[in-house]
């Protein structure tokens, strides 16, 4: 994944990262954490009636130059550009969201990175209960990540990522270690941006992680989770974007 206007130094400045840039697990973990804490997951383009661009140069301009956020195709696409620039071995994979009441197609995009013969799931664009760091793809893999807990299981011919929510593991999405090309997600992008049956057209969303928690905005309700303590407040959506996500849209 490349873009003619992508600059690794500009990207690193955008996410506030000044550490090592080697194709190893330490760098991968630090990059993913830094992006999750600086680039919001948000669907303002969809809510404005627009279909988010999948042109790599336009994604770079939106997130790096204009300091916006985006949803999975955009933020994971940008993350993949950085992985390419650093020299990681990686590919895109499709994931099936599991928080809907009925079975869904694999419309979510994730990044699979291979390091020393092992595969790691990376995702900077899932939102509320998404990963905080890479997690090794293996059956019954459990990872605690700064107070959050995640599990990967292999069942029904795919891996399932679950998050620990309200005292139990809640399935978030299923995926397979099957590489997919970027262009294959164009229909999924159109579906998520236009279908009345997706959460992106139904609600205004914004999520950003903090060192010890995350901020989740759904319409005019802001949930702030910090060290396991949850606080909710009513706040106008655009005001919250400016005050808590550093977005002016």
Sequential pLDDT tens for the chain (249 residues): 999 999 999 999 999 999 999 999 999 999 999 999 999 999 999 999 999 999 999 999 999 999 999 999 999 999 999 999 999 999 999 999 998 778 889 999 999 999 999 999 999 999 878 999 999 999 999 999 988 899 999 998 999 999 998 888 999 999 999 999 999 999 999 999 999 999 999 999 999 999 999 999 999 999 999 988 999 999 999 999 999 999 977
Name the nearest CA neighbour of 154 among 127, 136, 129, 168.
136
Residue ranges of the domains in the chain? 8-198
What is the rounded CA–CA span in Å between residue 103 and residue 110?
18
Return the pLDDT at 147. Answer: 82
What pLDDT was estimated at residue 128? 79
Closest to 200 measured CA to CA, from 100, 117, 120: 100
Alpha-carbon distance of 189 to 221, in angstroms, equals: 26
| CA distances, 60 to each of 6, 93, 141, 176 (Å) | 6, 21, 33, 28
With respect to CATH, is domain 8-198 assigned 3.30.2140.20? Answer: yes
With left for phi above 0 and alpha for psi between -120 and 50, is residue 117 left, alpha or beta? Answer: left
- The DSSP output letter for 183 is G
Compute how many other C-beta atoms are within 10 angstroms of the C-beta atom of residue 47: 18
Predicted pLDDT of residue 209 = 96
CB count, 10 Å around CB of 45?
Answer: 20
Please count the CA atoms within 13 angstroms of the CA of 230 that sit on its side-chain side: 9
What pLDDT is recorded for position 134? 98
The pair of three-digit structure tokens given for residue 94, joined into one six-digit string: 């499709």
**Residue 153: Cβ within 10 Å count:** 18
The pLDDT value given to residue 60: 98
Rg of the chain taking only CA atoms, in angstroms: 17
- Rounded distance between C-alpha atoms, residue 146 and residue 62, angstroms: 29
Residue whose C-alpha is closest to residue 95's, from 111, 108, 77, 113: 108
What pLDDT score was predicted for residue 170? 92
Q: What is the dihedral of CA 194, 64, 89, 98, to 10 degrees?
A: -30
């Amino acid at each position: 994944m490349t873009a003619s206007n992508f600059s690794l130094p500009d990207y690193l400045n955008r996410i506030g990262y000044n550490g090592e840039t080697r194709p190893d697990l330490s760098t991968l973990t630090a990059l993913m954490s830094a992006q999750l804490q600086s680039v919001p997951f948000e669907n303002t383009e969809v809510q404005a009636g627009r279909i988010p661009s999948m042109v790599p140069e336009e994604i770079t301009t939106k997130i790096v130059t204009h300091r916006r956020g985006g949803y999975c195709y955009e933020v994971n696409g940008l993350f993949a550009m950085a992985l390419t620039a650093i020299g990681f071995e990686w590919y895109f994979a499709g994931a099936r969201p599991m928080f809907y009441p009925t079975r869904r197609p694999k419309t979510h995009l994730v990044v699979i990175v291979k390091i020393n013969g092992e595969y790691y799931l990376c995702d900077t664009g899932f939102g509320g209960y998404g990963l905080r760091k890479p997690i090794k793809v293996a059956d019954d893999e459990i990872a605690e990540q700064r107070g959050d807990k995640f599990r990967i299981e292999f069942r029904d011919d795919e891996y399932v990522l679950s998050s620990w929510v309200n005292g139990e593991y809640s399935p978030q999405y299923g995926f397979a270690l099957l590489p997919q090309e970027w262009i294959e997600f164009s229909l999924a992008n159109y579906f998520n941006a236009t279908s009345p049956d997706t959460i992106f057209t139904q609600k205004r969303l914004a999520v950003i992680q903090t060192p010890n928690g995350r901020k989740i905005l759904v319409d005019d309700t802001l949930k702030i989770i910090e060290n396991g303590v949850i606080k909710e407040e009513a706040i106008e959506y655009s005001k919250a974007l400016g005050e808590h996500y550093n977005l002016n849209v």
